Amino acid sequence: MTALHLADETEASDLAAFLSRLLHYDRGAAVRLQSAGTTLAVFGRPPAFEVLTIRSVRLAKPYERGLEVTLDVTVSAGELLESVDESAATATVPGAVTGPPWAGVLPPRGGWRREPGLPAPEALRALVGALVAEFRDRTRELPAEERTRSELDRLGREIWSRRVGRTPLPVRAVHAAQSLGFLRPAERPRPSGEEAGEAGTALLSSGAWLRLRTPYGSVAVRTAGLGSLDVSVR
């Protein structure tokens, strides 16, 4: 197994928190790891949201294992979490697992352009809160005999498939960002040239992908063209 040397204890803590949240939604979650220089990208897919989540982790030094200078592997999120040593700012890459279908279709690394119309971060958080409240209220209003799993799923799809303002982004992407800890108020500037604070929050597009970027991570959805959104990551 190969050790990853993270930039500091905070990076290790943030990685552990991200993995814990993924495992909350899927105890058998897998993550795909890709390194580029001193950045490790960790991809996951919480099934409750039907989106792809990406957490960038700063490394203290570029990944290197013998003659290998890059890392691209799918591993168990649980095993990776167990290996994180926050005080030492290290983690161990577990053995590879058979990747789920989504791990073979990732967003492009480049070619992203900014899309207009994304509300401010505080407005996005308020939107999620309002729709969570709407879901609860409408659930309580259902007669007991109609409060079935299929009806709750239908109600959830109706609410979370709405668009964010005039953008093509489904609200479920914002809900995922909030739930995964990506949409929290800015606590500290992100190093490595990233924009500080919440100024880094933006909606980007590249080909068939939309990406909600925040200073703490990104949520991506695959589209069938910006006018017809398919929120499933295939």
Q: What is the DSSP string of 149-217?
A: HHHHHHHHHHHHTSBSTTSS-BHHHHHHHHHTTSSSPP-S--STTPPPGGGG-EEEEETTEEEEEETTE
Asked if residue 212 lies in contact with residue 174, where contact means CB atoms within 8 angstroms, the answer is yes
Lowest-confidence region among 52-61, 121-130, 173-182, 186-195:
186-195
Indicate the range of 9-13, 73-77, 184-188 predicted with least confidence.
184-188
Position 196 pLDDT exceeds 70 = no
Evaluate whether 175 touches 128 at the Cβ level (below 8 Å): yes
pLDDT at residue 211, as a whole number: 97
- pLDDT given at position 119: 95
Place of tokens 């668009």: 163
| Dihedral sign computed on CA atoms, order 9, 55, 178, 77 | negative
pLDDT of residue 113: 95
189 pLDDT more than 70: no
Compute the distance between CA of residue 36 and CA of residue 172 in angstroms, rounded to an integer.
29
pLDDT of residue 66: 63
Mean pLDDT rounded to a whole number for the chain: 88
Helical H segments across the chain, by residue range: 9-25, 77-83, 121-141, 149-160, 171-179
- For residue 193, what pLDDT is reported? 39
Indicate the CATH number for domain 2-101: 3.10.150.10
Domain regions of the chain by residue span = 2-101, 113-222
pLDDT at 117 over 90: yes
Give percent above pLDDT 90 in the chain: 74
Closest CA to 8 of 80, 69, 78, 85: 85
Task: Identify the DSSP state of 144.
Answer: G
Q: At what angle do helices 171-179 and 121-141 cross, to 10 degrees?
A: 100
Of 190 and 61, the structure prediction assigns the larger pLDDT to 61
